[in-house]
Amino acid sequence: MSNKVNPLLRVSAIQQQCSDNKSISMATSEQLIRQAASEGSRLVVLQELHATLYFCQTEDTAVFDLAEPIPGPTSTWLAGLAKELGIVIVGSVFERRMNGVYHNTSVVFDSDGSLAGLYRKMHIPDDPGFYEKFYFTPGDARFNRGESGFTPIQTSVGKLGVLVCWDQWYPEAARLMALAGAELLIYPTAIGWDTTDEADEQARQLEAWVTVQRGHAVANNLPVIAPNRVGTEPDPGGQSDGIRFWGNSFICGPQGEFLARADDRQECVLSAVIDRSRTESIRRIWPYFRDRRIDAYGDILTRVRD
């Protein structure tokens, strides 16, 4: 009998609309998680802040009441689903770490319901409609068992390089996860269009988002799973027409090839089978990691080169 691990892994990304009623959002997530599990997925990834509306369109201190500790209601619910269904779940929590310290946190539960690890979003945006610096403290460089902030999380389906949304624009984050042994890159996301933007500008933004993440797959020879939300969410402050989240969740292979891609409107379970053995095969013929000039990269640690 062979002791080899089957390299084929069925994974799912959940693309959904969110509600101002947390129980409705969580019920939708649960329905889609159960569907993914029933179809054979062993790894299910939820989008960023899936339990609530995207509250960062405005700055409002009352929103901190939505935050919860880990363990807490959302993480306990996710842990129970993971154990019941025998799958690995990557979820998202607005984490209350202590008085005045809050994080945008991905939680990973293994197939036995145990907390395999967490990742606190490292890059925090502060742009019109995305005022995240008001709410989120950046993740620590050392946060979990003395490890680096960019440390893969070991699970029964492999080492997961979990990053979050704005992290997806930084090649350094993807590379550090790859160097630490990540077997998959995962980007839970909440991103969309200003509804007043012209169609051409919306198309450029969407394709930039897709392209940069496919680039991380190519540059590191790793599959990428990127779930994003859909639906238009109003601006609570009434300063804009809100955000239309553009969906387009996708799963791609280690050469950036699309394995599955959603549209910009529908809730769905997006699934694909990933062949984890291809990373090794591709790195043998495209040996980026062998040829890296680590002796010449010192300036990467400077803000700018004057």
3-class SS at 65? helix
| Catalytic annotation present for 165 | yes
How does DSSP classify residue 189? Answer: B
3-class SS at 66? helix
> Which residue in this structure is represented by tokens 């990053």?
163
Q: Could you write out the DSSP letters of every residue in 199-251? A: HHHHHHHHHHHHHHHHHHHHHHT--EEE-B-EEEE--TTSSSS-EEEE---EE
Catalytic: which of 18, 165, 252, 268?
165
> Which residue in this structure is represented by tokens 């991103």?
191
Catalytic: which of 18, 56, 95, 121?
121
Question: For 139, left (φ over 0), alpha (ψ -120 to 50), or beta?
Answer: beta
Tell me how far apart the alpha carbons of residues 46 and 15 are, in angstroms, rounded to a whole number: 7
Catalytic: which of 18, 48, 95, 252?
48
Tell me how far apart the alpha carbons of residues 26 and 19 are, in angstroms, rounded to a whole number: 9
3-class SS at 138? coil
Known catalytic residues are 48, 121, 165
